[in-house]
Structure 1
Amino acid sequence: MTEWITNTMVSLGYLGIGLLMFLENLFPPIPSELIMPLAGYTVSQGKMEMIPAILAGIIGTILGAFPWYYAGKFVGEERLRQLADKYGKWITVSGADIDKANNWFTRYGGVAVFLCRLVPGVRTIISLPAGLNDMPLIPFLIYSTIGTALWVSFLTGAGYLLGEHYDLVDEYLGPVSKIVLLSLVIWFGLWILRRNMRKNAE
């Protein structure tokens, strides 16, 4: 995987970054945690510029969100869940993943789109419930772009600072991302609990 990502980026440059990030959104096993740090390392070598590299990553990610968004909009929740359970093993997406992302979106709407763009594993799938719930395209793009810009900039900057050890981002971010996800779940759970207690008190 690493060799293929490297060859694609070396041969296609900024277009390669955009293409890889587009594919990362369609096929979650392709890790953005490896693509953008490699781009940052390439920038540190003077072979690319930082801003165009980040922009390429953002554009590729946003373009990759459209297929999921429109799948949710036109295919429907029940059919998507059936397809995910039947074929999702090829892209590591299950019906349960769709339910989880949909629950997040139902509770938090646009904020969920923004936050989930910062959480590996959930960041790709959040486009589905946005489509399922008929979220208007412009707000979807705004929240997605802001979250994506932060994520892509962080990964690219980390790769730039780490230099030839850019692959450490992927190695260490996996456990960290699980901690972040757990923290968000706990925080949201406490928020719901307080809200319910307030309603009962009223």
Structure 2
Amino acid sequence: MVDTLTMWIESLMSTAWVYPVIGALIFGDSFIPVLPSEIPLNLVGAWSGARGEPNIGVMFIVAVMCAVVGDNLCFLLGTRLMPYVNRIRRGSKTYGALVWVKRNMRRNAGAAIIIARFIPSARLLLTILLGSVRFPWPMFFIFDTLGVILWAAQALAIGYLGGVIFSGSPLFAMLLSVVLATVLGFLVQRTQNKIMDALDVRRGYAEAHNYGL
């Protein structure tokens, strides 16, 4: 079973088809986040580190282009996609992401755009909401592109490092890279929340001091 799966993956990774296939998954993830697109990038990175192919530089360029195009198209369609946001059920995991998005939009939209790239559900919701409230598109494009570059680089790098270390077992390297990327996304979200909470406290003290409280 493992040998069959390895052969199937290798047959894809060793052809030029891997670039449009992974690119299509990344583009589709901008609208339908069924499979977080960092997972295919982790897999490509791990296989490249273990077997020397696909070309990780080409994959990085394809990933950035497809993610940026998908995000910006989703942003421009923000108003039309709002019904999707309004149907989110309270108490669900997606609703938790929606709460995070609304909270951080008000605090620092630029930082939220970058960080949301590392949180699968949040990046779609944030893009739709910003598009629906007519957030300045040039600003969105700049922050989104920066976030995508960081996101694609870390997803491929984590996979590649795992592939180099466990070159004799690329499947294990692929699984390990997915786990590490998931943990990293969680840590990024937690760290950002703590920083924003600390800034809110400092801002509150400053305002109180200005009013002589």
1:84–1:72 CA distance, 2 compared to 1 (3 A): farther
Distance in 2 (CA, whole Å) between partners of 1:144 and 1:8 is 33
What is the CA distance between 1:188 and its match in structure 2?
0.4
Q: Name the SS of the counterpart of 2:207 in structure 1.
A: helix
Q: Which residue of 2 aligns with 1:152?
A: 152
State the 1:7 CA deviation.
8.8
Once the two structures are superposed, residues 54-104 of structure 1 have per-residue CA deviations (whole angstroms, 9 ceiling, x without a partner) of 01111221222135323433455xx44433339xx8xx634x533431321
5+ residue gaps, structure 2, are 164-169
The C-alpha deviation readout for 1:10-45, integer Å capped at 9, x for no partner, is 472211121111122223230233211212134332
The 1-side partners of 2:48 and 2:41 are apart by 10
Q: Is the 8 A contact 1:110 1:143 kept in 2?
A: yes
Q: Distance in 2 between matches of 1:162 and 1:196?
A: 44
Question: Which one has a bigger Cα radius of gyration?
Answer: 2
Q: Distance in 2 between matches of 1:136 and 1:179?
A: 29
Does 170-179 or 153-162 show the bigger shift? 170-179
- Compute the RMSD of aligned alpha carbons: 2.8
Aligned residues: 192
Alignment partner of 1:93 is 2:94:
yes
Map 1:99-178 to 2 at 5 A: 99-163=99-163, 164=170, 165-178=173-186
Q: Tell me how far apart the structure 1 counterparts of residues 135 and 206 of structure 2 sit (CA, whole Å).
A: 29
Q: Give the CA deviation at 1:48.
A: 2.2
Please report how far the alpha carbon of residue 194 of structure 1 lies from its aligned counterpart in structure 2 after TM superposition.
0.9
- Please give the alpha-carbon distance, in whole angstroms, between the structure 1 residues aligned to 2:151 and 2:81: 29
Q: CA deviation at 1:199?
A: 0.4
Q: Distance in 1 between matches of 2:43 and 2:56?
A: 12
Report if aligned partners of 1:6, 1:38 keep a CA contact under 8 Å in 2: no
1:47 aligns with 2:48: no
1:187 aligns with 2:195: yes
1:63 aligns with 2:69: yes
Distance 1:82 1:122 in 2: 15
Q: CA deviation at 1:178?
A: 2.2
- State percent identity of aligned pairs: 19
Aligned to 2:166: none
Matched letter for residue 55 of structure 1: I
Partner residue of 1:21? 26
CA drift of 1:118 comes to 3.3
Shift of 1:9: 5.4
Q: Check 1:58–1:43 CA distance in 2 against 1; reply closer, same or farther (3 A cut).
A: same
